[in-house]
Structure 1
Amino acid sequence: MNEYTRQLYDYHTWANAKMFERLKELPADLYRREFETGFSSLSKVLAHMYAADQFWFDIMSGGDIMSALAMGETFQEQAEAASMAELETMFVALSQQYRAFFERQGDLTQSILLEHAHIGRMETPLYELVQHVVNHGTYHRGNIMTMLQQLGHTFTSTDYIYYLHAKATNG
């Protein structure tokens, strides 16, 4: 389970890197351009993704939800204020923190107790929270793809099968 969980997180990191590669190829003004549906800009989607990844990292690292929620607002604000290049650097640094945590933790089947404002109290293993982080990122990369398509731009595929192919071919 630990190795599979690490691979899922590596996929998440790979997909985010592919997303940033594509976004850097597009006109710079798209990053903060306002949209009428869903998130109001690409920068806000990316900031939300970053803040959520940071929130769950704090929880998995032993933080409590109330503190993580309070910090989440700060992370969201910092991410929204960052340039795309700065935010990409923030994502890379956070992925390094996740990997270091996985190494320190060792056993990702260990359960933690959550008291979530919307879903209540539950006990869940760490690997399920990592799966949630990965799913959340996949969902919002889909939002970004839709936003770009509305403007007539293509997006790079970040489906898991492409990650597996890239991994198998060292690409």
Structure 2
Amino acid sequence: MLCVTGQSLGDRSQWLSVGGVCRESRRHAARADDRGQARWRGLLRHHLLPRLNEFLELFAYNAWANRTIFDAVAQLPDEQYFRDLKSSYGGIHGTLAHIVWAEQLWLHRWVGKPNPTVPQGTDLKSLTDVRGRWEAVEAERGRFLDAFPESRLEDTRLVKPSSGGEYVHTYGQMFRHFINHSSYHRGQIVTFLRQLGVTPPSTDLILYYRRRG
């Protein structure tokens, strides 16, 4: 590989290459990247890490968004509500059951309970069943969060996914995943409603802020 000396950077020359990056340039870039990553990790940890109040706000948003979706799909005839739309969990009912099951699963991990007995909420046979279980999960989650101190956000738990493996996550990481997971699948339900010719509700976070005032 041909390397030529380029513009000086302090007491170190920047190396250019023909057909690739020479070894000196790679080492210099790697060291610079490591320093940059360390700097950002420090900023995130000490200055930008969301505190408990922000998580509580996102949990409140999640509850509002779920109830908005429940109210919307309650207007559908059974044929549309249960129709198989060829998605990961079938259609609207299967996706809602998955959301509720996953929210219960994560709550059980946080409080140290066994996983829900029936996977993927397949024991939920109607929208009434789905919403009833979710309201119970939401109430239990509220009690858990009421007693959860900010000092525990960086505490960890061992998580064993059904797909295998063992992973250690902080509560902060798990809280973020929980919010993201439910939002992702609510987005699928919005698409299902459009496929059925129904105007879906908006569950954007910014709308929650505007309506909350």
TM interval, shorter chain, is 0.7 to 0.9
Confirm or deny that 1:7 pairs with 2:90: no
- Aligned counterpart in structure 1 of residue 144 of structure 2, from 90, 97, 101: 101
| Aligned residue number for residue 152 of structure 1 | 197
- Match for 1:91 among 126, 131, 134? 134
Note the C-alpha offset of 1:47.
Answer: 0.8
1:71 counterpart residue number: 117
The match for 1:111 is: 155
1:110-153 residue CA offsets vs partner (Å, 9 max, x unmatched): 41232434584443321321221111110001111111111211
Structure 1 residues 48 and 37, CA gap change in structure 2 (3 angstroms) = closer
The residue number in structure 2 matching 1:20 is: 70
Task: State TM-score, norm by structure 1.
Answer: 0.84
Q: Distance in 2 between matches of 1:115 and 1:123?
A: 6
**What is the letter of the counterpart of residue 155 of structure 1?**
P
In structure 1, how many angstroms separate the alpha carbons of the residues matched to 2:122 and 2:208? 31
- Identity percentage over the alignment? 25
Name the stretch that deviates more: 108-117 or 158-167.
108-117
Gaps of 5+ in 2: 1-50
Q: What is the root-mean-square deviation of aligned Cα atoms in Å? A: 2.0
- Say which of 139, 143, 165 aligns to 2:188: 143
Counterparts of 2:122 and 2:76 in 1: how far apart (Å)? Answer: 24
Deviation of residue 59 (structure 1)?
Answer: 0.4
Give the match for residue 29 of structure 1: 79
CA distance in 2, matches of 1:115, 1:96: 23
Larger-Rg structure = 2
Question: How far, CA to CA, are the matches of 1:113 and 1:12 in structure 2?
Answer: 23
Contact 1:111 1:123 in 2 (8 A): no
- 1:131 aligned onto 2:176: yes
- Tell me the distance in 1 between the aligned counterparts of 2:179 and 2:136: 17
For CA contacts below 8 A with separation 6 or more, give which structure has more relative contact order. Answer: 1
Q: Deviations over 1:28-60 (max 9, x none)?
A: 322211223433121110111111001100001
Q: In 1, Cα distance between the equivalents of 2:67 and 2:199? A: 16
Residue number in structure 1 paired with 2:8: none
Q: Which moves more between the two structures, 139-148 or 26-35?
A: 26-35
Shift in alpha-carbon separation, 1:36–1:124, aligned structure 2, 3 A: closer
Larger helix percent: 1
The 8 Å contact of residues 110 and 157 in structure 2, kept in 1 or not, is answered as: no
- Number of equivalences: 161
Contact 2:63 2:138 in 1 (8 A): yes
3-state SS of the aligned residue for 2:169?
strand
